A and B are shown apart, each in its own frame.
Chain A
Amino acid sequence: QVQLQESGPGLVKPSETLSLTCSVSGVSISSGDYYWSWIRQPPGKGLEWIGYIYSSGSIYYDPSLTSRLTISSDTSKNQVSLRLTSVTAADTAVYYCARLLGSGLALDYWGQGTLVTVSS
């Protein structure tokens, strides 16, 4: 059974760095035709793509976040991480990690999400 679990601080100060980890169980993040993805949802708003890392290590970022975003993986821990610098209130959102199928380009497994609030 594939499971994803996000973790990290729920409160980040403006201009600081947001760091989240997605722990994956039931499948190795370094094998298979999967992209390990980050999506966010501001309160009361819609879903937004952030970026993803392929099982081979290739990384893709949404153009609007490229300058502030780093996505990485730790295969020894079977974890994927997100790091977003210089955050503002606009980065307040529920952050989800999810598995993107390489064959169908659809998100078939999701974590439960974690709310990150940017506030002083």
Chain B
Amino acid sequence: QSALTQPPSASGSPGQSVTISCTGTSSDVGDYSYVSWYQQHPGKAPKLMIYEVTERPSGVPDRFSGSKSGNTASLTVSGLQAEDEGEYYCSSYAGSNYFVFGTGTKVTVL
């Protein structure tokens, strides 16, 4: 399984929105609604931000939202805040009990 494709970087000023794409294939992102997103700060474990494409776990601000169209999933962070800076990874179920992560996107708050 190849990694899902994400842009290496994304940025925005405080209060603005940033959208990160996650492109897979018809065998993973395009075939299942099991796309999740993780935020990782340097030296820390990843944190679940979105699951099942659009669902937010308890405690995750509603500034974070997810969507999917065809083979591409997206994470949007609205009203950017300084603490949103970090690395973001998507993940998708790929069938036959396999999962795949995205390549990661570094989000910078300008």
Q: Which A positions have Cβ atoms within 8 angstroms of B? A: 46-49, 60, 62-63, 96, 98, 101, 104-108, 110-113
Contact = CB atoms under 8 A, between A and B. Distances in A.
Interface residues of B, number: 25
Given A46-B3, A47-B89, A106 B97 contact: no
Interface string B3-27: 1000000000000000000000000
A33 B7 CA distance: 33
A104 B36 contact: yes
Interface string B70-97: 0000000000000000000101010001
A110 B46 CA distance: 7
Nearest to A35: B97
Contact of B46 (A60, A63, A105, A107): A107
Given A46-B104, A49-B100, A49-B101, A107 B48 contact: yes
A62 to B, nearest CB: 7
B106 to A, nearest CB: 11
Given A46-B102, A49-B100, A105-B51, 13 more contacts: A47-B101, A62-B98, A96-B46, A104-B36, A104-B51, A105-B34, A105-B36, A106-B48, A106-B52, A107-B38, A107-B48, A110-B46, A112-B44
B101 A104 contact: no
Most B C-beta atoms less than 10 A away, residue of A48, A49, A98, A106: A106
A46 B22 CA distance: 14
B1 interface: yes
Contact of B36 (A46, A60, A62, A106): A106
Most A C-beta atoms less than 10 A away, residue of B3, B51, B104: B51
